[in-house]
């Protein structure tokens, strides 16, 4: 059952050949079997999952079921889930039981989906390797001595190992697409404002966006259709109709104009990844797409701009975690200052502290104009590069990550090198555009991802291109040998 897509599982559920309870038990069993190996799941909600599965079966019997009814999933552990611990991968929130559901969780529940549990992640979504979690690192199912990518590494590793058919993730600078690439699955970051951030614990409010991780573009289309839509509780959520992403998946690609940014194929790109992307380009040409070289002249500024803007917003957002209202509190504080200092010192990990310090510095008196304001100006230049590019192309294509997954511990002591693993994804977040990663081959036994970037609210076109590619390739259907 774990090798099947959402569409296949949905057909079997509707036909009665399997029940949601049977399906849920199967995936819970796989989590138990492989949980210690990967450490991809922080919290397993077995009792709740079986209760939701029984409700889904009743809904099915009453003829009130949709495509997603009875399908199990995992939520990244920064989506608030009523009555269930929401830790954000941090000691700071180790004891936090959310009193309400995030909008994304609420909508998945309304669709009849079954929550298996909460996926591991880099602490407060800060990281590119999933080595920064309070609950321990996550391992890549293709090679367990390698990282799965981050910060949605738990979600990506779980889907790649078929511990769940689909999972939710968030993407601030590549945190859906980069782990999807490194784990050989499909991950989609929607246009900023397409999916509600209400109930999603914030890292950088102008960059964070929730989205789906699945084995295929078709499965992402089903999930995004349920996730997306206006939410009056989120002031950044845009009131725009949500199309049927599944209907247009099979559309012909003839005449589709795809741009290849020359900056993506220069120094720093692993030769094996470059070869996989070249082969993918050839597939798209066979499908009728037309290619042209474009330029994104300010792309090289995306990483430094991001690492001013994101830490600045993180320093503001994380100021609420002070040991007073909720979260970790130190024992026997001497006074209020001691309470703040020790609660935060004990509750936050090294990478979170690093980013808080960078952000606080960038926003401090005398440095705001020199750093934060300048980074925002660069952000505007990057957005303008994309605007000009989309005047002549429909989609932009390139590598998701410059290298395949690296070994665990390889970059822990070199944060700058770690940050550069997101060099192709960050600009998309700074511009607020949609982007996705799909499997495009292997380099030394590890997956390589192809990134597809669309214009604002053009997720349907991205999904169509990805689906057509996956109809004639099998990279997305391959399963790590020890998890088949």
Band (230; pLDDT cuts 50, 70, 90): very high
Contact in structure between 330 and 324 (CB atoms under 8 Å) = no
Are residues 80 and 326 in contact, defined by beta-carbon separation less than 8 angstroms?
Answer: no
| Whole-number average pLDDT of the chain | 96
- Residue percentage of the chain with pLDDT more than 90: 94
- Give catalytic residues, as residue numbers: 76, 151, 175
* Domains of the chain, each with CATH number or no CATH: 6-248+469-483 (3.90.1300.10)
Backbone angles phi, psi at 442, to 5 degrees: -135, 150
Q: Which residues contact 128 (CB under 8 A, 6 or more apart)?
A: 122, 149, 150, 151, 174, 175, 178, 418, 419, 421, 422
pLDDT higher than threshold 90 for residue 417: no
Extended beta strands in 181-252, E state: 186-189, 209-214
pLDDT at 479 over 90: yes
The residue-averaged pLDDT of 143-166 equals 98
pLDDT at residue 268 greater than cutoff 90:
no
Looking at the predicted structure, is the pLDDT value of residue 413 above 90? no
Look up the pTM and report it. Answer: 0.96
Query: 74: pLDDT confidence band, cut at 50, 70 and 90?
Result: very high
pLDDT higher than 90, residue 367: no
What confidence category does residue 333 fall into, taking pLDDT thresholds of 50, 70 and 90? very high
Residue 369 pLDDT: 87
Predicted pLDDT at 245: 98
87 exposed, middle or buried (CB, 10 Å; 0-12, 13-18, 19+)?
A: buried
pLDDT > 70 in the chain, percent: 100
Q: At what angle do helices 103-110 and 217-227 cross, to 10 degrees?
A: 110
What is the spatial distance between Cα 358 and Cα 338, in angstroms, rounded to a whole number?
22
Q: Going by DSSP bridges, is the β-strand pair 41-44/435-443 parallel, antiparallel, or unpaired? A: unpaired
41-44 and 114-119 strand pairing: antiparallel
């Amino acid at each position: 059952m774990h090798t099947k897509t959402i569409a296949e599982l949905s057909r079997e559920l509707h036909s009665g050949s399997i029940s949601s309870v049977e399906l849920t038990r199967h995936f819970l069993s796989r989590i138990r079997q492989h949980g210690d190996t990967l450490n991809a799941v922080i919290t397993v909600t077995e009792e709740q999952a079986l209760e939701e599965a029984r409700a889904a079966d009743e809904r099915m019997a009453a003829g009130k079921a949709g495509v997603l009814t009875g399908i199990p999933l995992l939520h990244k552990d920064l989506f608030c889930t009523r009555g269930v611990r929401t830790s954000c991968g941090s000691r700071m929130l180790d004891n936090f039981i959310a009193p309400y559901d995030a909008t994304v969780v609420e909508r998945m529940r309304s669709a009849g989906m079954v929550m298996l549990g909460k996926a591991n992640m880099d602490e407060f979504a800060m990281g590119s390797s999933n080595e920064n979690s309070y609950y321990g690192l996550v391992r890549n199912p293709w090679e367990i001595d390698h990282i799965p990518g981050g910060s949605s590494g738990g979600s990506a590793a779980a889907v790649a190992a078929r511990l769940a058919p689909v999972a939710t993730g968030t993407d601030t600078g590549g945190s859906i697409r980069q782990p999807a690439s490194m784990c050989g699955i499909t991950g989609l970051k929607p246009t900023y404002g397409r999916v509600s951030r209400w109930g999603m614990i914030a890292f950088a409010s102008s960059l964070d966006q929730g989205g789906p991780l699945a084995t295929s573009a078709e499965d992402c289309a089903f999930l995004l259709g349920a996730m997306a839509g206006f939410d009056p509780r989120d002031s950044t959520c845009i009131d725009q109709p949500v199309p049927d992403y599944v209907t247009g998946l099979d559309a012909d690609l003839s005449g589709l104009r795809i741009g290849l940014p020359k900056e993506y194929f220069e120094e720093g790109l692993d030769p094996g990844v470059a070869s996989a992307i070249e082969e993918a380009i050839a597939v798209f040409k066979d499908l009728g797409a037309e290619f042209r070289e474009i330029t994104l002249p300010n792309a090289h500024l995306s990483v430094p701009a991001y690492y001013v803007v994101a830490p600045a917003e993180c320093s503001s957002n994380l100021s609420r975690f002070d040991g007073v209202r909720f979260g970790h509190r130190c024992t026997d504080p001497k006074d209020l200052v001691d309470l703040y200092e020790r609660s935060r010192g004990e509750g936050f990990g090294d990478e979170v502290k690093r980013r808080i310090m960078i952000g606080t510095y960038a926003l401090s008196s005398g440095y705001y104009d020199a750093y934060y304001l300048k980074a925002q100006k660069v952000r505007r230049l990057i957005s303008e590069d994309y605007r000009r590019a989309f005047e002549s192309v429909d989609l932009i294509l390139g590598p998701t990550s410059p290298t395949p997954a690296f070994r665990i511990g390889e970059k822990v002591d070199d944060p700058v090198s770690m940050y550069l693993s997101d060099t192709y994804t960050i600009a998309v977040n700074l511009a607020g555009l949609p982007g996705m990663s799909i499997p495009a081959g292997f380099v030394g036994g590890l997956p390589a991802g192809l990134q597809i970037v669309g214009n604002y609210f053009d997720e349907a076109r991205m999904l169509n291109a990805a689906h057509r590619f996956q109809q004639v390739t099998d990279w997305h259907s391959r399963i790590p040998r020890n998890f088949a």
